[in-house]
Amino acid sequence: MSSASLTELDARYHFACDVAKTAASRALSWYQQRHQLVVEHKKDLQDVVSEADRNVEELVKHLIHERFPDDAVLGEESGGETSGARFIWVIDPIDGTSSFLNGLHNWCVSLAIVCENEAVIGVVCDPNHHETFHACRGKGAWVNDKRIQAHSAQQLDQGLLGLSSSNSQPVEPLTTFIGALLAQGGMFIRNGSGALMSAWAAAGRLIGYYEAHMNPWDGLPGIVLMREAGGITNDYLGNQGLQNGNPVLLANAVIYPQLKALLPAHASI
């Protein structure tokens, strides 16, 4: 466990919530004029980035560097140098860019803080629904000012599972997993934003969340949220997760092993 003091965490926790809300407000203003945005494709036609992503990320990095100049910032669009930093802010200015660009409300600002290789703070801000999911180590998980907890399901057929995928991962393990889930009476949703779905899982709206590979700026907030909401998660930061990403599996203590049992034997969870 990191040696971060309560004072250090509190200062960053409150500021992280403020920064996420400020960034979400800026992103929402871009969203309302999305038809004018310049859009580029990254790795493939499904992997898009807009000037809104870059603009919002620049805003977030500026705010953090102004308040905590010794902290490092790792952003999806601009990267960042993290070596030697005790606190690392990990940010996705708009998670769910495809939804954002197509007028769907399933996108958010995703932000986490890592201290000494432990994810200690997670924030997911959804401006379309006026919801900010936030958690800090030892302080519980919240949506706005209401405390949240993981779903109470005891079986896979007692709710919806959040599920996502990307073109960087093979199709067959996912289809096998889905088939096994459906065979047990389970059902899933995919909304285009992994960070938002993992927050929903922490809030008990979904029975859990699974993705075979998530980048840290999308995966880490849900890790903190679910742990503080009373659920359990895989060890995301193991095997250089901060550098390379990792799978994400989130659920309550009863559902988690049931989901894990559906995964292929070679899955790294």
Q: Where are the domains of the chain?
A: 6-148, 156-262
Confidence at residue 35, expressed as pLDDT on a 0 to 100 scale: 86
User: Is the pLDDT assigned to residue 12 strictly greater than 70?
Assistant: yes
Q: Bigger pLDDT: 36 or 260? A: 260
The maximal CA–CA distance of the chain, rounded, in angstroms, is: 52
Confidence at residue 170, expressed as pLDDT on a 0 to 100 scale: 82
Q: Is 37 exposed, middle or buried (0-12, 13-18, 19+ CB in 10 A)?
A: middle
pLDDT digits (tens, 9 = 90+) for 156-169: 999 999 999 877 78
Residue 43's pLDDT band (boundaries 50, 70, 90)?
low
User: Is the pLDDT assigned to residue 150 strictly greater than 50?
Assistant: yes
Report the Cα 184 to chain-centroid distance in Å: 27
Residue matched to tokens 């000012």: 145
Confidence at residue 40, expressed as pLDDT on a 0 to 100 scale: 65
What share of the chain has pLDDT > 70, as a percent? Answer: 95
pLDDT digits (tens, 9 = 90+) for 47-80: 456 788 889 999 999 999 999 999 999 987 777 7
Cα separations (Å) of 162 from 38, 196, 232? 30, 10, 15
Instruction: Domain 6-148: state its class.
Output: alpha beta
Domain 156-262, what fold? Answer: D-Maltodextrin-Binding Protein; domain 2 (3.40.190)
Q: Considering the entire predicted model, what is its pTM? A: 0.93
User: Is the pLDDT assigned to residue 257 strictly greater than 90?
Assistant: yes
The mean pLDDT of the chain is 92
